[in-house]
Amino acid sequence: MPALLEVKNLATHFTTRDGIVKAVDGVSFTLEQGKILAVVGESGSGKSVTALSIMRLVAEPQGRIVSGEVLFKGDDVLKMNDSQVRELRGDRIAMIFQDPMTSLNPVFRVGRQIGESLVLHKGMSRKEAFERAAELLDMVGIPHPRERARDYPHQFSGGMRQRAMIAMALACDPDILIADEPTTALDVTIQAQILELMMEMQERTGAAIIIITHDLGVVADMADDVMVMYAGKQVEYGTSDQVFYRPLHPYTWGLLASLPRHDVDEKGALRPIAGQPPSLINVPSGCAFHPRCPHARGLCSADAPELIDANSGHLAACHISPDERLLLQPPGRGGGVR
């Protein structure tokens, strides 16, 4: 049986006045049924564009998926015609966006927006869909769901809007839920509610989740697998435990070392990554991270490292050899010995 979702060598480029932006440049991964994959990286690393490309939502003609395959249950989404893609979107693959303030339509009642996909994909009548929308709102923990379904988005708070977005995404019982920074705009206590809700829903429906975030705490909270991106490329991929406790790539080391932690006893000095993120128009030669990497050597600026399996499915794209890595690994990060 083919995997639920298999992305192979995906590349999405944007044409701008200043040149071609290689937002996503050769990304491959597999998502199995019921798993949670976190995509981590800083702004401009290509995590959102990866998600949009899977959904075929990249704005054309500036943006173009230039190569790759996105196999959903074996069928290539990139080769589908528009109506096939529309059948997939919202029905089999649903998306939750970062900003619940702007991703709901202000002129339609919340219930109608949630029910829209049911009318489109499940052939329900408006009325049935509205009823179902109220049930969904109840499921995501909105009090008085029948009345609230008649409200407009501005009558909802930020946390409630994000709940409504989740209800909308789950309406058709999708196989994959893509959540792009679902809690970034929310306060921590509300974030905790939403993450809890997403995991609860995932257990109930068995959907696979791709969560895109820059918050490593959220990753540790939810993810089974983690993909770390830098300048449009994957630099590391592994299970959550592998990436947090035995990280392989110097960029991942840098990310972990720059975080202030409130869960460790002493205030350790933060060790930031030097320099600035690269421009995606003039990506550094070889390994894109080499100008900021404390362990870079001649080879790194000449040759782009391949993503190779270092240890039972734990992949990294780095020239540092495994033996050398043992010596370099920054101390005191999660012990590294669990």
Cβ count within 10 A of residue 134: 23
Contact residue for another protein among 26, 34, 277, 291 (CB under 8 A): 277
Residue 16 binds to another protein (criterion: CB under 8 A): no
**Residue 12 or 240 having the CB closest to another protein:** 240
Contact (Cβ atoms closer than 8 angstroms) between residue 163 and residue 82 = no
The residues near 170 (Cβ < 8 Å, ≥ 6 apart) are: 94, 136, 139, 140, 177, 201, 205, 207
Nearest to 135 by CA among 173, 182, 165, 171: 171
Helix (H) or strand (E) holding 145: helix 145-148
How would you class 40 by CB atoms within 10 Å of its CB: exposed for 0-12, middle for 13-18, buried for 19 or more? Answer: buried
Only one of the segments 5-13, 98-106, 119-127, 271-279 lies at the binding site for another protein (rule: CB under 8 A); that segment is: 271-279
Q: How far apart, in whole angstroms, are the C-alpha atoms of residue 267 and residue 143?
A: 42
Residue 189 binds to another protein (criterion: CB under 8 A): yes
Only one of the segments 13-21, 102-110, 265-273, 313-321 lies at the binding site for another protein (rule: CB under 8 A); that segment is: 265-273
The C-alpha angle with vertex 58 and arms to 96 and 234, in degrees rounded to 5, equals 80
Contact residue for another protein among 256, 284, 330, 336 (CB under 8 A): 256
In whole angstroms, how close is the CB of 59 to another protein at the nearest point?
Answer: 22
In whole angstroms, how close is the CB of 332 to another protein at the nearest point?
Answer: 12
Residue 302 binds to another protein (criterion: CB under 8 A): no
**Residue 130 or 156 having the CB closest to another protein:** 156
What is the greatest pairwise CA distance in the chain? 66
Query: Coil, strand, or helix at residue 142?
Result: coil
Contact pattern from residue 20 through residue 59 relative to another protein, giving x for each residue in contact according to CB under 8 A and a dash for the rest: ----------------------xx----------------
Residue 283 binds to another protein (criterion: CB under 8 A): no
Task: Catalog residues that contact another protein under the rule CB under 8 A.
Answer: 42-43, 157, 159-160, 187-193, 195-196, 214-221, 223, 240-241, 244-245, 254-263, 267, 269-274, 276-277, 334-335, 337-338
